[in-house]
Structure formats: C-alpha cells, structure tokens
Amino acid sequence: MLRYLTAGESHGPQLTVIVEGIPAGLELDATRDLQPDLRRRQGGHGRGKRQQIESDSATITAGVRGGRSLGSPIALTIVNRDWNNWKGPMQVEADGFTKKSVTRVRPGHADLAGMLKFDLDDARDVLERASARETAARVAAGGVARALLAVAGVSITSHVVRIGDVVADELVAGSDTAVVEESPVRCADPAAGARMVEAIDAARAAGDTLGGTAVVTAHHVVAGLGSYAQWDRKLDGRIAQAMCSIPSVKGVELGDALIAAASPGSAVHDRPAYTPGRGFHHLSNRQGGLSGGVSNGEDVWTRVHFKPISTLLTPLRSVDVRTGEETNAHYERSDICVVPAGAVVAEAMLALVLAEAFLDKFGGDSVGEFCRNIDSYRATLARLR
C-alpha cells in the first residue's frame, strides 16, 4: 500500500512529507527526481510575489541510502524561506507569540467554513493550512511516485487548454512537451497561449483572478489497474477524488465526459481490437483509458477544471466574523492565475494514484520483484486468450 502524509503551514518553518510503501531499491535523487517538478510548479504566467521569495528544494532525510530506497518510509522536507518574515505570528511556542488575527473572511475560500468547523476566532489558523502552499509537498511526494512509475514505463504530462474565456485549439497536440514547457502558460497552442497571457494581464489590471482547464495524461498505463468489485477501488473514482482535493479544482472530466453526456452511445464508445504482438487495444480513447473503474490499456487522461482563486487584489465584499458587519474581504498576497502551476500539481496527484494502483496489483518488496511481476503480466496480456 502506498500512502503519504504532508504537514506544515504556508508561512511556517517548512513542509514535511512522509511517503510509505515504496519498494526497496528504487533509484532516487532529489535533484534529478524532485527538483524539476517543484520548479515547474513555481512557474507560469500569473503567479504572485511569493514565488520570488521561495526557491523550493526538497531534501530527502530518511528512507534512502546511497541513492536507493530502503523499503522504509521516505521523509522529505521543503524549507519555507518566507518563514523569516513570519516568525512572530507563526511561531510554535506560546512565549513571545505575537498574534495577528484575520477576521475578514474571503468569499470562495476555506476561511469561514474552517472557522465554523473548528470553533476558531482567527482565519489565520485555517488559511495557513488550506493554502495551496501545501501542494509543494504533494509535488515532492509525486516525484517519488513518478520515479516508481518510470521503472514501469509510465510517464505523465499536462497542458493547459483554457484560461478564462480563452480556449486552445484541442487539435493541437498536447504531447509536445518542449512546446508546452516553453510556453509561459504551459499551452501547446502558441496563438491561444499568447491570448491567455493577455487575459491574465487584464485580470491583474482589474484586480481580478482567472481559472481554467488543464489536460493531464498518463502514458503507457497497463490494463487492469483498479477494480469494479467495490466502489472505493474504482480507479476513475480514485483519480477524481485526488484531483478534486487540489485547491481551486471544482470539476474533473474523465476522458470526453461532457461530450459523451451530449452524444449518443454509438458516437462515443471506444471500439476494442486485437493485434498480434500488441494484444487487445482500442481504436479511440474517449473514455480516458478507463472502463468500469479499471484501466483498459490506453493512456489515462482527464480534464481538470480550476476555479479562479479566492484572493482578489480588489477584494469582494464579505463579513467580519467578530462583528457580523459587512466589510471588504481580507487580502493575502496571492496569484492571479494558478492553472499552469495547478496542472503540475495534478500530474503529481495522478502519479500518486497510479503508483498506488500499480503496487496494489503487482506488489513487490523490491523494485526488481515489482518489475518482474509487471513484465510477466504484460507478456500474458500480449497473448490471445
């Protein structure tokens, strides 16, 4: 079983991650396997000034020796450089603590709901953990998962297809990672990408924020991951839950879900075929590589929809929880658009779900055993029954 936990506040000393269940013998290097995605998460046009302060770097502090996993829990830490500016209001100890309360809650944020849930009088106690800063820890954990998936031949990519009302041409392939990574909004359509940049700049000038949509794809996924036997083992449900756990994500499409909802079955179902040496496959992939909660051998792909973030340069009207009076919402230094960075977080979440599903099916206390089990299974799939 693969599981992970994160801890840490947005302006606390550090983020901490524990990843448990990785087999022994996985080659793992923080600079090679974790840093690139952390750097990608910090990028994208529309990010705020916090990214000018932080230079995220994960340190492996347990579970790896001599560049290889030990089979024991892997511990990762990411230092928050902005902690130097928040030591008083965010310190752990009571002695010398300087509380700076936030009581003007933000519409669309966890501020009010969290205060009501935990009986708090300060939204700072909520927003520090509800902040998307926590996703840096997920991306680090996702880097470990991606390293495991790589030995199984699986890679994960993403690209942005919408920001605000600007929509990219979906006929433009999103698999050209060089074009995507060179784009300031991670869009495979250069013309649409330029318009997205303009839309973000216009939103900034208006004191507003923008959401959008990204497509996330796992390539070369083996058939048979997940299960239809119980609701909580269905792979599509696990992917949807993981994506919706990302801050700002309010919707997930598995494959062409919206198109399928408006089309007859004859137009959307993927026809199976058999090719000697390749085995069973499908002639299209509108279902996103998922059938009945099980991976079907095609690429697993999903559209992830992000709402505009809740902190606006021109604050919305809200309420002060101390008095109940209407007032402007609190402003917390923030971004204008997080969709390009959010797509990187979505990659990490898909990696974690798929790595868990691979381990569920193939097990293995060592990477060698894990790979032998996968190779044997793939050889079986290639034979006609």
Give the pLDDT of residue 278: 80
Give the pLDDT of residue 54: 64
Give the pLDDT of residue 174: 54
What is the span of the domain harbouring residue 24? Answer: 3-381
Contact 63, 21 (CB under 8 A): no
Band (175; pLDDT cuts 50, 70, 90): low
Reduce the DSSP state of residue 26 to 3 states and report it.
Answer: coil
What is the DSSP code string of 303-362? EEEEPPPS--SSPPEEEBTTT--EEEPP--S--SB-HHHHHHHHHHHHHHHHHHHHHHHH
- pLDDT of 176 over the 90 cut: no
Count how many domains the chain has.
Answer: 1
Give the pLDDT of residue 222: 96
Give the pLDDT of residue 173: 54
Q: What is the mean pLDDT of residues 300-329?
A: 93
* 248: CATH: 3.60.150.10
Band (312; pLDDT cuts 50, 70, 90): confident
Q: First CA to last CA across the chain, in angstroms?
A: 30
In tens, the pLDDT along 89-108 reads: 999 999 888 888 999 999 99
pTM of the model: 0.95
In tens, the pLDDT along 243-299 reads: 999 999 999 999 999 999 999 999 999 999 998 878 889 999 999 999 999 999 999
Give the pLDDT of residue 51: 62
Q: What is the mean pLDDT of residues 219-247?
A: 97
Q: What is the mean pLDDT of residues 331-357?
A: 94
Q: What is the mean pLDDT of residues 79-88?
A: 89
Give the pLDDT of residue 380: 86
Give the pLDDT of residue 279: 84
Q: pLDDT exceeding 90 applies to what percent of the chain?
A: 81
Give the pLDDT of residue 67: 97
Containing 114, the helix (H) or strand (E) segment is: helix 111-118
Higher pLDDT, 122 or 50: 122
State how far the Cα of 279 lies from the Cα of 76, in Å rounded to an integer.
40
Give the pLDDT of residue 171: 62
Contact 45, 203 (CB under 8 A): no
Cβ contacts of residue 66 below 8 Å, gap of 6+? none
In tens, the pLDDT along 120-151 reads: 999 999 999 999 999 999 999 999 999 999 99
